[in-house]
Structure 1
Amino acid sequence: MSLGTMNETHGRAPRILFYSHDTFGLGHLRRSRALASAITQADPRASALILTGSPVAGRFTFPRRVDHVRLPGVTKRADGSYASQTIGMGIEEVTELRSGLIETAVQQFDPDVLIVDKEPTGFRGELLPTLERLEHTQKTRLVLGLRDVLDEPAVLAAEWERKEAIAATERFYDEIWVYGLRSVYDPTEGLPLSAATQARFHWTGYLRRDLGPIGEPPDQPYILITPGGGGDGKAMVNLVLSAYEKDPDLSPRAILVYGPFLSGELRDEFEARVAALNGRVTAVGFESEIETLFAGAAGVVCMGGYNTFCEVLSFDKRAVIVPRTTPRLEQWIRASRAEELGLVRMLDENRDGLTADAMIEAIRNLPHQPVPSQAIRAGLLDGLKYVTHRIDALLGAEPERATG
């Protein structure tokens, strides 16, 4: 029975709800947006709602039949703790507020499937009341979606134990989707998951980026410089600007996308340096349709976030990845594994040094790198297609809570 047929018997179109905690950066929201777009394109009757804490959610365009609800924001401090962005509320109060809003949204929207991004219990456990309610009703199928890399196995195991995430994964979720391939990396290595839970895993492949028609790119050739959301992109942007400042013959020109979280005095400082380069580097602020810039680029210099990596693969671009190594090794693990597979080149702090000369060499070598498609293996970019098939399968079956 297909997704549409099953829901016709219930008298309404399919409803998919995404939970995306988004305490920092853009990754969770952009992943949920790509998944929602694919699901609603696959079934023109389906609708999707994204619950997100991203402070820039309103700057994105969303496909038809996809909408979002903005949860009160929280900020991650340098020491790893969190603070409320809501005036006059402490972190405990704002977590309770978010938890209540989530529970209300789930009751009102009454989704057929709830897809939870990365955090099995939500931010500070805010999802638990909703999961417990859904466990009793057994009307909504529950899916945990994990990116290809989470963190070092030992670090992740300690984090999941502290958050009681293992118990929640075992108890609540009908399926666990990993948006990657096990042959590339297993993000759950080291987690003490039962055999029954491991049997509910689905390795989807990476999520190909295809969010509609591509616009007219800027004058070519150029390389694209993107630090993702930009909040942790200072070192990479500084490195690229230093390379163009040191080598007056470095080409082609670069287009730098700051990201919405790179702002203030640091942004002003970078703007002054860009202006002094007389057009060899140009900069734009937050670009919600960065796909157009990707499509026209001769190459990419970027950080190692999941979404940017998917864009590099999807647009088949030669790329130099400069991964961050704090507060997690996630980006370094992804970039180093991708380099081993011949998909990208990594600029590694310990091996190559993060110097202007190292960046100059990397940019000059970009045209000589193979494009990712020369190394891509079967199924690597099939994630969206796999997910739409799983949605169809979940909604075509009678809800039955998996145990184990």
Structure 2
Amino acid sequence: MNLRSVAPQDKHAERAQQHQQFTNRAPTVTPKILLYSHDTAGLGNIRRTLLLAQELTDQYPRAAILIVTGSPMIHAFRIPDGIDYIKLPCLDRVEADRYEPRFLSACAAEVKQTRQTLLQNATLGFQPDLMIVDKRPAGIDGELLPTLRALRRHHPRTKLILGVRDILDDPTRTRASLQRTGCFDTIEQYYDEVWIYGTQAIFDPIVEYAFPPAVARKTRFCGYLKRPTVLRERPAGPPHVLVTTGGGGDGSDMIEAYLEGLMALPRRLALRTTVIFGPQMPTPRRTALLERFGYLADVVFIDFEADLTHHYAEADVVVAMAGYNTVCELLSHGRRAVLVPRAEPVREQLIRARLFAARGYCALVEPDDLTPELLMATVLAALEPRSRIELPLDMEGLPRIRTRVQSLLAGGAR
């Protein structure tokens, strides 16, 4: 530490300088930050939103952070101190760009108006210094547009960020969707920056989705978002396979194929398995799986756990779909993985799984090729000892986000 003495006549000047420094810094020390996550299918959007909220809380312990979300599972997650949330009525994605109320199906127009009103009232009432919007710049069916207009009119100092995962969908479909919904115009008019939670070395949305120059100039590649990990000593016994579907809404075929393959294994091949269904798996499907496979020895069935960190730490191989958050968790833990991506209603998972498999980060079973025999053969191959090739991958998304937030709250951009 470098110490220096201060002459008495300098003390008043130094105190004034310190006061001015604190005054200048105060807005960034206690910021108000709002995160909007429209949330329809699965757990990906809300888990990413909560990860960002936790990171911002660590960066600014005195911050006030408000999440506005349509996730039906927000209550199941641990909400850190300094964070609160407003729950929007739930929607379901029935096609790539079409949504319907999940529970209030007879009141589609009323649900849309309720979500729009809640969004606008919450945002204008909270008056955030920084607002991070997940994936859809105008929200679902434009529900965020009145809020954006009002923010720019009444609170022009609010910094607006659009956060986008590495891959949205097939490039042809995505280009058409972005043009049809006016997303680029919305970004140009209202947003300060676009954050891509990925790297151009894997997938470059600026090129693939034909970002116009004005949007490309606002775009920053953060890198993938590394998750917290734990170290656990692997227990003695057979290899351990974790089978997880994320939200579980469309993961039952993967679970069924794995368990059928497990039943067909010769007795000399033993595996311990943990199956996590996911909270959105239809009850009849979960019941049928338990009735058929519940007797299997060395298989543990779990409905849902919000934090899979310890399960990843104990697994030798993970069988999973290829959602953004799942892939980030696998990369963070360094686990061998067999990915069985969904291909509809969007092809994001399929594209991601193919790109990562081609680079040696995982094994891939194409959804159209899924059979018990192929899946189990791929799992057994993944369990074979081999020298690991550590390919560099940018997982520094969260530190870069910290840097951008600090700059924006200090008055950068716009």
Output the TM-score relative to the length of structure 2.
Answer: 0.88
* Distance apart, 1:171 and its partner CA: 1.3
Secondary structure in 2 matching 1:143: strand
* 118, 139, 161: which one aligns with 1:101: 118
When residues 356 and 82 of structure 1 are mapped into structure 2, their CA distance, relative to the original with a 3 A threshold, is same
Matches within 5 A, 1:319-398: 319-349=337-367, 353-368=369-384, 374-377=389-392, 380-397=394-411
**1:217, 1:292 within 8 Å by CA — same for their partners in 2?**
no
When residues 12 and 103 of structure 1 are mapped into structure 2, their CA distance, relative to the original with a 3 A threshold, is farther
Secondary structure in 2 matching 1:244: helix
When residues 38 and 369 of structure 1 are mapped into structure 2, their CA distance, relative to the original with a 3 A threshold, is farther
Residue 275 of structure 2 corresponds to which residue in structure 1? Answer: 256
When residues 370 and 181 of structure 1 are mapped into structure 2, their CA distance, relative to the original with a 3 A threshold, is farther
Deviations 1:176-228 (A, max 9, x none): 000000111013434343323211111111111128x7899998642110011
Whole-Å Cα distance in 1 between the matches of residues 333 and 184 of structure 2? 36
When residues 274 and 7 of structure 1 are mapped into structure 2, their CA distance, relative to the original with a 3 A threshold, is farther
Whole-Å Cα distance in 1 between the matches of residues 161 and 24 of structure 2? 18
**2:205, 2:211 within 8 Å by CA — same for their partners in 1?**
no
When residues 371 and 397 of structure 1 are mapped into structure 2, their CA distance, relative to the original with a 3 A threshold, is farther
Matches within 5 A, 1:132-151: 132-136=149-153, 137-151=155-169
160-169 or 69-78: which moved more?
69-78
Residue 287 of structure 2 corresponds to which residue in structure 1? Answer: 268
* 166, 188, 198: which one aligns with 2:184: 166
Whole-Å Cα distance in 1 between the matches of residues 163 and 198 of structure 2? 11
Deviations 1:221-260 (A, max 9, x none): 4211001100011221111111112224343211000000
Residue 326 of structure 2 corresponds to which residue in structure 1? Answer: 308
* Distance apart, 1:115 and its partner CA: 0.5
* Distance apart, 1:272 and its partner CA: 1.5
Residue 100 of structure 2 corresponds to which residue in structure 1? Answer: 83
* Distance apart, 1:323 and its partner CA: 0.7
Counting matched residue pairs gives: 391
Matches within 5 A, 1:4-403: 8-10=25-27, 13-77=30-94, 81-87=98-104, 90-136=107-153, 137-210=155-228, 221-249=239-267, 250-277=269-296, 279-349=297-367, 353-368=369-384, 374-377=389-392, 380-397=394-411, 401=414
Amino acid at match of 2:336: R
**2:160, 2:192 within 8 Å by CA — same for their partners in 1?**
yes
When residues 312 and 229 of structure 1 are mapped into structure 2, their CA distance, relative to the original with a 3 A threshold, is same
When residues 271 and 7 of structure 1 are mapped into structure 2, their CA distance, relative to the original with a 3 A threshold, is farther
RMSD: 2.4
When residues 153 and 12 of structure 1 are mapped into structure 2, their CA distance, relative to the original with a 3 A threshold, is same
When residues 337 and 82 of structure 1 are mapped into structure 2, their CA distance, relative to the original with a 3 A threshold, is same
**2:316, 2:336 within 8 Å by CA — same for their partners in 1?**
yes
When residues 218 and 231 of structure 1 are mapped into structure 2, their CA distance, relative to the original with a 3 A threshold, is farther
Whole-Å Cα distance in 1 between the matches of residues 108 and 25 of structure 2? 42
When residues 257 and 88 of structure 1 are mapped into structure 2, their CA distance, relative to the original with a 3 A threshold, is closer
Deviations 1:321-357 (A, max 9, x none): 001111111111101110111111111245xx21111
Secondary structure in 1 matching 2:328: helix
Secondary structure in 2 matching 1:189: helix
Whole-Å Cα distance in 2 between the matches of residues 128 and 65 of structure 1? 27
Whole-Å Cα distance in 2 between the matches of residues 222 and 119 of structure 1? 38
Secondary structure in 1 matching 2:141: helix
Whole-Å Cα distance in 1 between the matches of residues 235 and 190 of structure 2? 48
When residues 5 and 148 of structure 1 are mapped into structure 2, their CA distance, relative to the original with a 3 A threshold, is farther
**1:218, 1:293 within 8 Å by CA — same for their partners in 2?**
no
Report % sequence identity.
35
* Distance apart, 1:163 and its partner CA: 1.5
When residues 257 and 74 of structure 1 are mapped into structure 2, their CA distance, relative to the original with a 3 A threshold, is same
Gapped regions of structure 1 (runs ≥ 5): none
When residues 236 and 90 of structure 1 are mapped into structure 2, their CA distance, relative to the original with a 3 A threshold, is same
Whole-Å Cα distance in 2 between the matches of residues 141 and 262 of structure 1? 38
Gapped regions of structure 2 (runs ≥ 5): 1-20
* Distance apart, 1:263 and its partner CA: 2.9
Whole-Å Cα distance in 2 between the matches of residues 286 and 34 of structure 1? 18
Higher relative contact order (CA 8 A, sep 6+): 1
* Distance apart, 1:371 and its partner CA: 8.4
**1:6, 1:395 within 8 Å by CA — same for their partners in 2?**
no
